[in-house]
Chains A and B, each alone.
Chain A
Amino acid sequence: MKQALHIFAKDALHLWPEILVSLVITGLFSCTYRYTWMADLAPGIPKLQYMQKLAEIVAGFVPLSWWILITRVVHAESLVGDRQWWITRPYEWSQLLGAKLLFLAAFVLLPFFAAQCVLLEEAGFRWFEYLPGLGLNLVLVFGILVGPLLALAAVTSGFGKMTLTLLGALVVVILIGVLGAWKDTGGMASYGDDAGGAASFLLVLVCCGAAIVVQYARRMSWMSRLLLFSVLAPFAAAVSLDSLPKLIAMAYPRTKGSVLVVFDPQGGHSPATDADNGRVGVSVPLVMSGVVDGTAVRVDGVRATFESQDGRTWTSPWLPIYGPMHLPESSKAGLPLQVDRKFFDHARSKPVNVYLKLAVTTLKAGVDRRVVLTGQDFSVPGVGICSWNPTTQTMFDTTEVTCLSPMREPDFTFVSVQLNESSCTDDDARDEVPGAGTVGGAMGELSPAPAEFGITSVWSRSVWLNDFGTDVERSGRILHPPPLLCPGTPVHFTRYTLMNRSEVDVTLPQFQLPEFERFTILRKR
């Protein structure tokens, strides 16, 4: 330990300009980042928007300053090459590595921890109540950012080579992403991947850790590089082997007794629209039944096979669905599909058979918290500190509730409310009307972890509570001002937890593909 402290002191003395710059950037980050959520809470204020942009730029500089600091401190005792003066001195490799880790803890992680605490306090949270989350985020930041940078610096001999290697690694990551996009495997990747995410994190941690230890202990640069870059192999293999369908099949097993989904002939026929990758977007009206009380169903993704009259077929990749939650009382929804443009043109004149595979998540309703809006901030357990800004709906026609959550996305919560028809009166108390329609939206994640990887410790999430309903004519033009959310209106925050995931198969025989039409929203006040 004595040697580690000695090396640490040398590095701190030598790299004080870099340390100072990094500390200043981290300090600026902690001072400015609050503007990102302040701008969310009060949109339309130019100064806040300007400060939000500035805060985002400063936040981008934080990892950049770490990159420079990590590279400089590791290369102070470069591990690559055979001319470094220190390699023939009695350095203990464990002490040297310890010194570097101590340096990173002191000048990267500790300032970052302090900045996280400041942000929590600024958002109205007591930082010491979130120590497990703060600790976990430090582990995640180390594993995802600091560790890989440390490993890259350990297997390179200079700043230029480190930069080139980093750029090379980024190119490979981008190529894997492009390959994934080309194979349409990326969209659904974020669903059902809690275990996958943890496995990926562990893989990165193990590969980087092994590369660092091997390099410090033996200075076997090629072996270390091999270990480090082997981290990309499973991702590349997963993409190139087109393994996403298998992963989705594992995450969403086919089970009996789940919800029933059928075509809704009364659901209207939306026109087809342009979509990415030379495809046409088609909306299929569905009715979802069998959603039992106390539960909700969310369609996470869909894969559709279209079969034309002449036997020609086309199967879409798994596509994510960002649709509404299906509650027992609200079971109709249009399911957006994509179909190949050539197939669409070929098969449009006659009905086609459509075979759908839906990736469905069933959620169990938990605690329901009723909050009466007053215009003041209010706290919702499991979510955080929420607020509602009445001015936004008069200025922008958007009715939204924004919540700040500590350390992670809020618990998965469905926010629902009964909107007022046209204008708000001075009435403070507004009763809920039984049987009247509610609007709602979901926020948050089903992950139970106390923290998510992020440079911020405060997550800002909004739920839009707009209901344009039938006031949108076919062209998308809004005919009347939408209903309003008024002070005194009770809002429900219902927490949902994961019950199960399953695949639901739906067959739509003789489905007539709609006419193609460009669809744009025009607003009229």
Chain B
Amino acid sequence: MSTTMSAESSAAVSGAVIRTVIQTQGLSKRFGKTDALTGVGIEVPAGAIYALVGANGAGKTTLIKLLMNILEPSAGSAWVLGIDARRLRGKGLARIGYVSENQEFPEWMTVEGMLEYLRPFYPTWDRALEAQLMRQFDLPAGRKLKQLSRGQRMKAAMASALAFRPQLLVLDEPFAGLDPLVRDELMEGLLDRAPETTIFLSSHDLAEIESFSSHVGFLQQGRLLFSEEMGVLSERFREVTVILESLGAGSGLAGENLSPSWLQYEATDSMVRFVESACRGAETRAELESKFPGARTIEMEPMPLRAIFLAIAKEKRGKPTSQHQGAVRLAADGDSLRPGSGAPGEGSGI
């Protein structure tokens, strides 16, 4: 890749407009004999709110630490704001805000002291915005960080990461363990800044990110299953229920008759149910009608993010329902479906 650094990333270095804020290729990290991350390739366009989701231990934090040059990759490359992540330090970090659930803060500092200390590090620090964030998050200026609750601490961290109007905000599980009120406050503060900032956040709470993310990537056991725009993803997945006219009309569907894009295929004598991962609207409906000529009804329901992930996760773990014989091709290393790349349903990914 640097091979492979894109033109727009290169442009970023010279101060031109950045179109791809984060780009990784074949990014891998090994801890001893354990592969924490394997061949991850993502692209995050400028202005996106990219949610990296996955279960605990999926590799989200590792990926973020690689992007932030906290860890060194074992293989592959990552570019952040046009800078090779391995060289991301010093001034390069003045455009990036980072908040993590498990950061170690200077506990002895007061909230005000911390912000005051950080101010000179950032040429773009906005004191008016700092004051606004203090009010918005209702932060106790004179209290030491060690005396703050977890929620207050996260708000203080968020304020310190937003006050310099970063071009990129990287958040590692920012809402984990917070009560709903604090979570809403944080999210509100975050969304206020969204128009001027690209946000890359990790979470294992799907419902939480569904409401505001523009892009989503799904990590499982260190591998990226897909990475694409939320709208495209929602359009692509449908929960299909086929009610059969006569008993047994669909139960014999097997082998080459099963589409590779069908997940969690279940069939009874009177009903077939599966998740279509490459839905193309009317075209898909027509295909289904031809495959199930004896169908009384064919329902294609949109799926919530959570249901989509569960379907993919179960498929990946090799726990398909009993009758499903279909082969499903998951995103291979580095060739996951990127936002805007490839047409859904062309078999380019789940």
Contact = CB atoms under 8 A, between A and B. Distances in A.
Contacts of B322: none
Contacts of B117: 6, 10
Interface in B7-50: none
Nearest to A91: B90
Nearest to B96: A88
A2 interface: yes
Given A90-B91, A91-B90, A85 B121 contact: no
Given A3-B120, A14-B108, A91-B121, A82 B70 contact: yes
Interface string A64-98: 00000000000010000111110111111100000
B307 interface: no
A148 B106 CA distance: 25
Nearest to A87: B70
B104 A90 contact: no
Contacts of B92: 90
A3 B94 CA distance: 13
Interface string B114-125: 000110111000
A82 B71 contact: yes
Contacts of A81: 104
B149 interface: no
Interface in A174-199: none
A81 B65 CA distance: 12
Interface string A87-111: 1111111000000000000000000
B55 to A, nearest CB: 21
Interface in B78-127: 89-94, 96, 98, 100, 102-106, 108, 117-118, 120-122
Contacts of B93: 88-91
A87 B93 CA distance: 9
B224 interface: no
B161 to A, nearest CB: 9
B201 interface: no
A76 B104 CA distance: 11
Contacts of B100: 83
B68 interface: yes
Nearest to A15: B108
Contacts of A14: 106, 108
Nearest to B164: A90
B71 A90 contact: no
Contacts of B103: 83-85
Contacts of A88: 68, 70, 93, 96, 98, 170
Nearest to A95: B90
A223 to B, nearest CB: 11
A14 B103 CA distance: 20
Nearest to A77: B106
B118 A89 contact: yes
A481 B96 CA distance: 85
Interface residues of A, number: 18
Contacts of B98: 88
Contacts of A2: 120
B115 to A, nearest CB: 12
Contacts of A83: 100, 102-104
A78 to B, nearest CB: 8
A388 B251 CA distance: 115
Interface string B142-168: 000000000000000100000000000
A85 B91 CA distance: 16
B229 to A, nearest CB: 27
A132 to B, nearest CB: 37
A6 B105 contact: no
A92 B121 CA distance: 10
A3 B122 CA distance: 11
A90 B164 CA distance: 12
Contacts of B120: 2-3, 6
Contacts of B96: 88
Nearest to A7: B117
Given A90-B91, A90-B94, A91-B90, A85 B106 contact: yes
Contacts of B118: 89
Nearest to B122: A90
A524 to B, nearest CB: 68
- Of A3, A87, A90, most buried by chain B (CB within 10 Å of CB) is A90
B40 to A, nearest CB: 18
Nearest to A92: B90
A85 B104 contact: yes
B28 to A, nearest CB: 17
Contacts of A82: 65, 70-71
Contact of A90 (B65, B68, B121, B170): B121
Contacts of B104: 81, 83-85
Contacts of B122: 90
A3 B108 CA distance: 20
Contacts of B65: 82
B201 to A, nearest CB: 14
A424 B226 CA distance: 104
Contacts of A89: 93, 118, 121
Nearest to B119: A6
Contacts of B121: 3, 6, 89-91
- Of A2, A76, A84, most buried by chain B (CB within 10 Å of CB) is A84
A89 B98 CA distance: 8
Contacts of B157: 85
Nearest to B91: A90
Contacts of A3: 120-121
Interface string A1-45: 011001000100010000000000000000000000000000000
- Of B68, B93, B121, B157, most buried by chain A (CB within 10 Å of CB) is B121
A10 B93 CA distance: 20
Nearest to A81: B104
B32 to A, nearest CB: 13
Nearest to B89: A93
- Of A2, A14, A81, A89, most buried by chain B (CB within 10 Å of CB) is A89
Contacts of A6: 117, 120-121
A85 B109 CA distance: 12
A93 B87 CA distance: 12
A66 B103 CA distance: 29
B220 to A, nearest CB: 23
Contacts of A90: 90-94, 121-122
Contacts of A10: 117
Interface of A: 2-3, 6, 10, 14, 76, 81-85, 87-93
6 contacts: A6-B121, A14-B106, A82-B65, A83-B100, A90-B90, A90-B91
Interface of B: 65, 68, 70-71, 89-94, 96, 98, 100, 102-106, 108, 117-118, 120-122, 157, 170
The 8 closest A-B pairs by CB, nearest first: A88-B98, A90-B94, A90-B93, A92-B90, A82-B70, A83-B104, A85-B103, A90-B121
Given A83-B100, A85-B103, A90-B93, 20 more contacts: A2-B120, A14-B106, A82-B65, A82-B70, A85-B104, A85-B105, A85-B157, A88-B68, A88-B93, A88-B96, A88-B98, A89-B93, A89-B118, A90-B92, A90-B94, A90-B122, A91-B89, A91-B90, A91-B93, A92-B91
